[in-house]
Amino acid sequence: MIDLLLFLVFWIILSILGEIGVSVWGPHFYYYTASTQALEGLNASLFLFRVLTPIFVFVVLMIIFVPTRFKAKRDGSIIPGKRARTNRAYVGIWITVSIVINLLFFLHPTTSAAEEQFNQLQPAANTHDLIVDVTARQWEWRFGYPQYGVNAAVDPAGNDVLYLPVGKKVEFVLRSYDFNHPYDMGLDVIHGFWIPAFGEKEDVIPGETRYEVITPNVITSTEVNPMVRVQCSEVCGPGHPVMYAAVHVVSMKDFLQWVHAQHKAGN
């Protein structure tokens, strides 16, 4: 009984310390966030950290507690006396708790976040979105703004670039084909559209169209933090590591100005 009590005391103390650690360090888990979707992911993972910390502490403490507390004192191979073969309470609690926690995780954050994502993709919720056509090929990203008549946005140096207005929902339309070789449109590979600071990625699959909805919530750019960059996340051949593009999240005014400049440049 004293063993159990001692263990419980350690477990509670260390779990509390762990939870404090989660509070302090947890919000930095995503390092840098620049969209509401990244914040949702961060909140979901903070919830997971909160629940998982006592479990982690429990097992790790067991791994340390048992060899120190129950260290073999005698060398004999047989310890006389009937030893526990099972314990209904322990097994029952273990199984119940693991089922309850997993069901909880499925309800929240899994299903609750999925519901949120469903809502974001509802047509009714997307009437005034900014639509960005994202085309991936080996090995280049191209960004088009059909609502503004921009086919392929490039910066003055001629590199593909992604400009987004802050606080406005953006719907990325993701397709993979080689726009430079229209005679073999079909022949490209799977790419991954990822902006680390936006907290979401979606694969770009040849022959299919995928959508991703993002609401940038901070004015930022690749120069401010390199996590704000478009990075191909799915291996797509030798050019995969260099398949990235700069991202600028700007105010609506600056965005319109940029669109104007793109028109002038004939993009």
Partner 1 sequence: MATAVSTSPEYPVKRPMPPVIRGLLWAAIGFLVVNVFISYVIDPLKGNPFITQPSVVLGWTAGLIGWLLGVGGWEEIILPAFGIMNKRPVTATGWRQYFGLSLHHKVVGIQYLVSSTGGFFIAGLAAMLMRLELMSPHMWLFPDPGQYLMTVGIHGTIMMFSVGTVALVGGMGNFLIPQMIGSNSSAFPKISSISVWLVPAGILTVAFSPLLGQWTTGWRGYEPLAQNDANGILFYYLGVFALTTSSLLVSLNLTATILFKRAKGLTWNRLPMFAWGMLVVSLLNIIWLPEIQMTFVMALLDRLVPFPFFTAVGSPLTYLEIFWLFGHPEVYIIVLPALTIWMEIIPVMVRKPLFAREWGVIGVIFVMMLSGFVWAHHMFTNITLQEELPFSFFTEMISIPTGFAYMVVIGTMWRSNFKLTVPSLLVLMSMFNFLIGGLTGVFNADPVVDLQLHDTFWVVGHFHFTIIGGMVFTWLAAMYYWLPKFSGRTYNSKLGVLGAIWVFVGFDGAFSLMFLVGMEGMNRWVPIYPPYLQPLNIAISIFAFILGAGFLFNLLHIWWAMRSGKKVEQNPWKSKSLEWMATSASLDDNFKEEPLVVASFYEYDDDKPAAIIPQQEVAASLS
Per CB under 8 A, which of residues 164..193 are in contact with partner 1? Answer: 176-177, 186-190, 192
User: Binding of partner 1 at residue 117 (CB under 8 A)?
Assistant: yes
Compute the least distance from the CB of residue 154 to partner 1, in Å. Answer: 21
Contact (Cβ atoms closer than 8 angstroms) between residue 137 and residue 178: yes
Please say whether the beta carbons of 220 and 197 come within 8 A.
Answer: yes
Note whether 95 binds partner 1 by CB under 8 A.
yes
Least Cα distance to 166 among 34, 33, 30 occurs for: 34
Give residue 153's identity as a one-letter amino acid code.
A
Specify the residue, 185 or 252, whose C-beta has the smaller distance to partner 1. 185
Tell which phi-psi region holds residue 101, choosing left (phi > 0), alpha (psi between -120 and 50) or beta: alpha
Which one, 149 or 239, has the nearer CB to partner 1? 239
Q: Considering CB under 8 A, how many residues would be counted as binding partner 1?
A: 89
Site for partner 1 in 47-66 (CB under 8 A): 48, 52, 55-56, 59-60, 62-63, 66
User: Is residue 94 close enough to count as binding partner 1 by CB under 8 A?
Assistant: yes
Q: Is 203 in the site for partner 1 (CB under 8 A)?
A: yes
The sign one gets for the Cα dihedral 191, 44, 130, 221 is negative
Closest by CA position to 236, among listed 193, 189, 179: 189
Quick one: 199 or 262, whose CB is closer to partner 1?
Answer: 199
* Cα dihedral 146, 253, 243, 28 sign: negative
Provide the minimum distance between the beta carbon of 106 and partner 1 in the complex, in angstroms, as a whole number.
Answer: 5
Give the residue, chosen from 5, 24, 73, 127, that forms a contact with partner 1 under the rule CB under 8 A.
73
